[in-house]
Amino acid sequence: MNNVPSAVQAPTSSSRSRTLFVRCLQDSHRRKLMDAPHQKELFISSSVFFALQLTGGLGLSLLAIIVAAFPNVNRHPTWFSFCISWSMSAISYSLLLLAGQKNRAPIFQLCATQAALVYSAPVLTGMTTFAMFFHVYLTIHTALTKADLSRIRGLRKLLIITPYASWTISFVALLVFSAIKPDYVQMADNGYYCNFSTPVPKRISASVSFIFLTAIVAFEGIITVCLYRQWRRLSTIGPKAVNMTIRVLIFGIGAILAWILCIIYLIPVIVASPSIDIILAILPFLGLIIFATQSDLYHGRGSNRASSMSSSKLTEIPSATL
């Protein structure tokens, strides 16, 4: 009498968790609809969040394609890696919106995938940003000291490969985690994207990013000191070197913002608010502004123009990196 017919399988704990997950999302959605002022505030903040994410992320992708189409505009592979990683991050955070499930209870598989992507993205962007900034440091160090860095070409290859290998491992591990613990998959409190209810993945992701962002902030300090000491030399080269200095400093401000966000995510008593998520969305947009305003993009002959200004390698830094 207690046997289950062969045509019907008893629901597993995993399927029960998925059913509960959908019901919880639907109940949360109904509560938000009843709270009109909160719903209006959420609509405005989410619109700003997604506008910044998609403009910055997709803009960087388009910028990378444009740069690749102009052989005379030099960019190091770490620059392309940076653009690609932040585009992937923007898509990760906007997945529900792009899939047309932003204002409804999303299917479990999509929500679990986004949760894994959201916690893998900071690992990727933190490492690619560090790789590009490390290249900036090496370029400036070579220009100022005439050092021979040809022996570290293998290291430069690692700067390209390691971030995406780490992202793949992180993403797969989190997907497995969501399959083992489906009840941990949830819609974030702000309603922008899916995440995990347990703080462990968030803290691990933030810790990895914090390590690399700390290194970026340290390199920013070293680069700033080097540029300050060589300011007279830079000012004689022309406006291009001065613009490069400004870009390095602005880029450093973005790195410091991301570093502060990591600290916020690592402190258990602080609950992430919509304003914090919007600051997070500003980062790819800031990168787009920095890189899309370089003059060599509009002249289409960056290398020749740089070499004609001066024989110093310092003039090659803007066209190669920032």
- At 262-299, the pLDDT tens digits run 787 777 665 556 677 888 888 889 889 888 887 777 76
CA atoms within 13 A on the CB side of 66: 17
Q: What are the backbone dihedrals phi and psi of residue 50, each rounded to the nearest 5 degrees, phi first?
A: -70, -35
pLDDT mean across residues, the chain: 76
- At 48-91, the pLDDT tens digits run 999 999 999 999 999 999 888 887 878 889 999 999 999 999 99
Q: Is the pLDDT of residue 2 over 60?
A: no
Query: Could you give all domains of the chain from N- to C-terminal order, each with its CATH number?
Result: 13-320 (1.20.1070.10)
Q: Which of 242, 258, 252, 209 is nearest to 309 (CA)?
A: 242
- At 135-187, the pLDDT tens digits run 877 777 776 666 666 666 677 788 899 999 999 999 999 999 999 999 899 88
Amino acid (1-letter code) at residue 237? I
Question: What is the reported pLDDT for 312?
Answer: 41
CA distance 133 to 233: 22
Question: What is the reported pLDDT for 74?
Answer: 81
Q: Which residues lie below 8 Å from residue 239, measured CB to CB, with a gap of 6+?
A: none
Q: Which of 96, 123, 120, 91 is nearest to 110 (CA)?
A: 96
Host H or E run for residue 98: helix 95-98
Question: What is the reported pLDDT for 247?
Answer: 73
CA distance 119 to 115: 6
Q: Which residues lie below 8 Å from residue 121, measured CB to CB, with a gap of 6+?
A: 88, 89, 92, 93, 167
CA distance 21 to 23: 6
